[in-house]
Amino acid sequence: MRRRLSFRVLSVLALTVSLGLVAEPAHALVAPAGSCSGALLHGVFAPGLTDTTQVEKIAMHATDNLAVRPATKNLGTCSGLVPTSRGAIAGSPTPTEAVRHESFTFTGSASCSQTATAPGVDPGDPNAASALPLSGKLQINTATTGLQAYVHVTGVDLDVASIAGSVFKGASVGAAVGGSLWEDPAVGVRPSDPGYPGIGNSHIAVDPNALVMLVGCADGVPNTIPSPGITLILVGDGNSPLLGAPATGLTFSFGI
């Protein structure tokens, strides 16, 4: 009896697959659910990020555009976000809109070392075995809509971080978060400083020692990033100001 039942079940499964009633994972459909780009944020690590894993917290907010009076925020735009109500699509995707608020908060156990040879093994980071991905929350608001998402950093290549997560509230709820952002060591600048105004007409510029820091993060030698480490970073998309590496910005998509 068991053999007959197994044979019949397998026969039905084979028939449904042959008729195209079961989609193969390789052919999963992905529907766009919006994107956001153009923001220029600054983030503060507490404590400063070094090449040795330690518990970190980081909060990121938009920089000021000092070329406009009164100063505005470098917040970019979002487009194609999907309005939802009670978990169901409730309207057409939004047109391109100016962002009014964008912020990230992350916690985790991390370092800037980029010499990992296996999970938990990194010649440049003696505490690599205790590393936990930076994870936290993203919030974005435009004039007509907004969203909140749980996000985490999936990897860093040169000065570009890849982001993943899921939207749990607001527009495009249920969508996967993807994309990438560049993150460069930074310093504050004042009107009397040669580099004023900074990137995006802000009061923040790329740290003159940024390349030295990135080399220390990639040299495979522990403790070459002295305390207090990297405390301030600039974050954005497009080509990074330090290395020119491309970052896509944030994307949202529904998987079927």
pLDDT at 246 over 90: yes
Higher pLDDT, 113 or 21: 113
Nearest partner of 74 among 95, 43, 101, 104, judged by Cα: 101
Instruction: Round to whole Å and give the CA distance between 9 and 108.
Output: 46
Element (H, E) at 188: strand 176-188
Instruction: Round to whole Å and give the CA distance between 64 and 56.
Output: 25
Determine the distance from the C-alpha atom of residue 251 to the mean position of all C-alpha atoms in its chain, rounded to a whole number: 10
Nearest partner of 136 among 75, 59, 36, judged by Cα: 59
Copy the structure tokens of residue 249: 């910005």
227: confidence class by pLDDT, cuts 50, 70, 90: confident
Instruction: Round to whole Å and give the CA distance between 106 and 223.
Output: 23
Mean pLDDT of 48-66: 95
Percent of residues, the chain, with pLDDT higher than 90: 72
Name the 3-class secondary structure at 246: strand
Distance from the first to the final alpha carbon of the chain: 37
60 beta partners: 43, 104
- Output the pLDDT for position 68: 82
Mean pLDDT for the chain overall: 87
Longest dimension (CA), the chain: 87
- Alpha carbons within 13 angstroms on the beta-carbon side of residue 165 total 27
Nearest partner of 110 among 156, 166, 175, 177, judged by Cα: 156
- Output the pLDDT for position 88: 67
Cβ atoms of residues 62 and 78 within 8 Å: no
- Burial (Cβ within 10 Å: 0-12, 13-18, ≥19) of residue 252: buried
Percent of residues, the chain, with pLDDT higher than 70: 87
29: confidence class by pLDDT, cuts 50, 70, 90: confident
Determine the distance from the C-alpha atom of residue 83 to the mean position of all C-alpha atoms in its chain, rounded to a whole number: 22
- Output the pLDDT for position 162: 97
- Output the pLDDT for position 87: 66
Cβ atoms of residues 149 and 177 within 8 Å: yes
Q: Any idea what DSSP says for residue 52?
A: S
Cβ atoms of residues 152 and 127 within 8 Å: no
Lowest model confidence (mean pLDDT) among 80-89, 110-119, 221-230: 80-89
Instruction: Round to whole Å and give the CA distance between 63 and 81.
Output: 23
28: confidence class by pLDDT, cuts 50, 70, 90: low
Mean pLDDT of 66-89: 86
pLDDT at 13 over 90: no
Instruction: Round to whole Å and give the CA distance between 27 and 134.
Output: 31
pLDDT at 76 over 60: yes
Cβ atoms of residues 95 and 79 within 8 Å: yes
